[in-house]
Structure 1
Amino acid sequence: MNTNTLPAFGLGTFRLKGAVVIDSVRQALELGYRAVDTAQIYGNEAEVGQAIAESGVPRGDIFVTTKIWTDHFGGDKLVASLKDSLVKLRTEQVDLTLIHWPSPNGAVPMAEYLGALAEAKRQGLTKQIGISNFTVALMQRAIGILGTAEIATNQIELHPYLQNRTAAAFAKRQGLHVTSYMTLAYGKVLGDPVIQAIADAHGATPAQVALAWALQQGYAVIPSSTKRANLESNLKAQQLRLSEAEMAQIATLDRGERLANPEGLAPAWD
């Protein structure tokens, strides 16, 4: 069983650039967020680092996650690329480093890039390591290489319209933690009548319902927003409890609608 502790709630920064991401991170930290998720490919690590440095919140109180891009998987490149990320993020160590996508077409052997990631941890560049967008077959191989205890999480697309049950159930059986990204499906679920009705019953927002649904299943969530009111509102999802009947209603919404499926990058999904 994985004993690593990850914050259940964090701020995502995908698609946020420049002053927009600085503002989002700054406001989130003011509101009480203490976990921030970025990635090399987002092109915003320097801005995230700036916002954290200028926030007044001690670095030790903030859980920072970044992700290694596929171009940097070669055993000689990964550690160097993470050191570059640390400079941009203005920190000597991140809390979690993930492999962003499995190597396309296995161009770099998994043992090589996961081995390099483990080496980054040994060097103290990152406290924890993990994976993202890994299918059941890929998780099995990763566990074989690193062992479950070394894999802090598998960050996967997971929302009411793509409940990713095969991968999530496998992870749960293995004691492997899951982080849900795109929990709001780019906002698509916010107009869903089932979610809206549940929100109305609780005096909550549809976003809070979707986030609470994921949290209640034990997943971590990392919603993003550029609006202070939404950042504040999303945080309150942690206090919302849905009934078994409401959870069952949301379970019926699964339609396998995958939104992150980049050609040439995505694995053969479960």
Structure 2
Amino acid sequence: MTARHLFKTLQWGLILFCLVFSIVGGVAAERVLDVLACQPHTNPALSTCSSLTNPIALRLAPFLSAGSIVDYPFVLLRNFWALLLVWGLALYAARWADRNPTAAAALLPRPGRAHPADVLRWGVGGLFWLLLAGFIVFIFALGLPIVGNQTARTILESLGCSPGTFDPFSSPCMRAPGFWTPRLSLYVLPLAGPLLAPVWLVMGFWDVLLGWLALIVATYALKSHLSQPTRPPVRPHPSAKPLRRS
């Protein structure tokens, strides 16, 4: 598939996805839930969904309670903004690759011609930029005031936990052990939770940030090492005479 075909596929797929859930979002959500055989619930113990299908079902459930067709576009933006953002970035990348084929071809190893060392160098470079971009997005998503609170609530709701507004710990799931719930519990505190997101980020995810930074530094060092040109060993000329010791 060429870059132009990929762009057209992503473009029409996005248009079709938005039209379906903006016009008949309730019917589409009901059909998808029937296929998944999933009935989401805020309490994971009462949910009939698996750990993989429950986040999807929780995103589709608001379409079933929408008042009218006018509410469907707003429900779509609220529940699928992350998917639409990633979809838009993929569209931009495909469009750029279509308009700049030479530059796009230079970023990818050529099959059949690429040396294994070139493939390794490209893979390590891509991993470095992926780790760096993910680190920046993670900090902005959970470290900005108010934004961190909304991100934390979105993650908790995707896990089947719906904390209260005035008393977040009234929900039994807020006291459940795990990776996310103890770290995100401070984000949903009244008043202080949305405003002190940078503090909660450091307090709750300091080990994740340190490990992530260590991976970025190690990948950057490996990328720099692989980017250095290898010098072939110097061979003496056939006509050169060996030096004699006095």
TM-score (norm 1): 0.25
Structure label with greater radius of gyration: 2
Greater length-normalized contact order (CA 8 Å, ≥ 6 residues apart): 1
TM-score (norm 2): 0.27
